[in-house]
Structure 1
């Protein structure tokens, strides 16, 4: 979905605008985009609904037990987790709902690795987190589809602030900028979906970011597969946890905009080897090097 000019530079500006008007973050963003793109709010919502359908579809495609990435390094993770959710007593330690949410996140990420159509939210490497959260809310908790679609606008508005103030690219800020931002966006969306306040949505994003601050980007063989796919799974768990903490009334104490600035400072201080270059972390372990040779041959 194309995004028009965005006028908010901080999360708090968005929160204040919503609180002053008595509206949700999503309402503010929908109106802002409709005006900027000279179209109706209904058209903006319809286009976001198309993106939500892509999210649904990629969780189905990626759950195919025979689907593999072109490298051959990954595939089947989503299928295995969803099968486990169905077969394990009580759906596993996390329970059926959360286990299936993780399974959907893995499926969407596998679909991406296998060159399927996904929604980069905010990036392809973190594409499983929002579907894992919102598709699960829609399909397993019976949340209204339009409410889920509207919640995506809240996620998008918060993500645009992060992209403007800090970064959503692993090459600039490490995986904290990708999965960390996606998890924060999802947490904010979940809060709105549960009827939480704009301030609680902001707090949820801050909690999610704090819990992934410093996460490096170290893709094995330089591919968005290992450990990226599994980090989408943990991002889902952090998003749900952050949302429930915020909804319970727990205060982060550090304003979300300061968390975002801190994330940028941490990313700026990361060595280049830990910023999507496959020059450090898991990419340079003995097994990581062998996997690279398996895909590309010896240097």
Structure 2
């Protein structure tokens, strides 16, 4: 796998290949698996993603701790009214991101893509594209997922995905970058545009802390998945319009890592700072532990 944008672009251009093909080659080499087996596993993941994104659009969820119940359905009902400022598809995209987080909090089956805390972003973007193009093949969507994996490999090389290490920027920022690159591929964009989209998505969220109320991956995580999905869409649009990131993607990832290392431990999944440390956040935590320690 090539990790530097200029080298990656040069190689793909000279060899007339796509990022997803490089990722597949790398996986074949590392895993000693077959292409058919890899595609089968990705097809299963795709099915789980789309199911999780749609699960609670039209029914109330009942999560384990009750902090984010019903957000998906409420957002979807609002989208149906047709008078939202973002437009029906964007609001429904957020509803689909909510849905996966609600399913995760209900101990349902999800794909941690790349983490459980950011698992609503890529499924929402994939399901949104299915809305735009109902005839898109699963094979094309799998290629898009492999494109997302390629971006994830670069992030993993220069930064990380852990909220405990890098804050929410590492989780939802990575997921948005991966989703935006996949979306550019699906829309017919080239590799440079995919990398620009990924860069923009990370830049948009750089510095975001991880401050889960009561230490639970629910609030404000669910909002960050919804906004992360929209971040992926707008970043893809900007890149497709021809807008470029001044800083190459691997350097953006290095900045992501540097910012994460600079954050106080209070702002990295400890629930000791940010929203978690507000008076209401502390009350919710106290009531939660009182209830569940009985």
**For this structure pair, what is the TM-score category when the shorter chain's length is used for normalisation?**
over 0.9
Q: Quote the Cα distance in structure 2 between the aligned partners of 1:16 and 1:135.
A: 32
Q: How does 1:79-90 map to 2 (within 5 A)?
A: 79-86=73-80, 88-90=81-83
Note the C-alpha offset of 1:138.
1.4
Q: Quote the Cα distance in structure 2 between the aligned partners of 1:156 and 1:121.
A: 9
Match of 1:137 among 129, 138, 159: 129
* Gap change, CA 1:40 and 1:13, over 3 Å in 2: farther
In structure 1, the partner of 2:86 is: 94
Q: Quote the Cα distance in structure 2 between the aligned partners of 1:82 and 1:259.
A: 34
Is 2:129 the partner of 1:110? no
In structure 2, the partner of 1:72 is: 66
Describe the SS at the equivalent of 2:205: coil
Tell me, which stretches of 5 or more residues in structure 1 are unaligned? 1-6
User: Normalized against structure 2, the TM-score is what?
Assistant: 0.94
Q: Quote the Cα distance in structure 1 between the aligned partners of 2:59 and 2:264.
A: 37
Match of 1:128 among 96, 108, 120: 120
Partner deviation per Cα, 1:151-207 (whole Å, 9 max, x = no partner): 001101211221232110000000000000100000000011111111111110000
Describe the SS at the equivalent of 1:68: coil
RMSD, aligned α-carbons = 1.7
In structure 1, the partner of 2:10 is: 16
Q: Quote the Cα distance in structure 2 between the aligned partners of 1:274 and 1:15.
A: 36
* Gap change, CA 1:235 and 1:147, over 3 Å in 2: same
Partner deviation per Cα, 1:18-63 (whole Å, 9 max, x = no partner): 2222121112211221233233323212211110000011123343
Count of aligned positions: 291
Q: Quote the Cα distance in structure 2 between the aligned partners of 1:13 and 1:229.
A: 36
Structure 1 runs, 4 residues or longer, greater than 4 Å off: none
Is 2:143 the partner of 1:150? yes
Is 2:162 the partner of 1:181? no
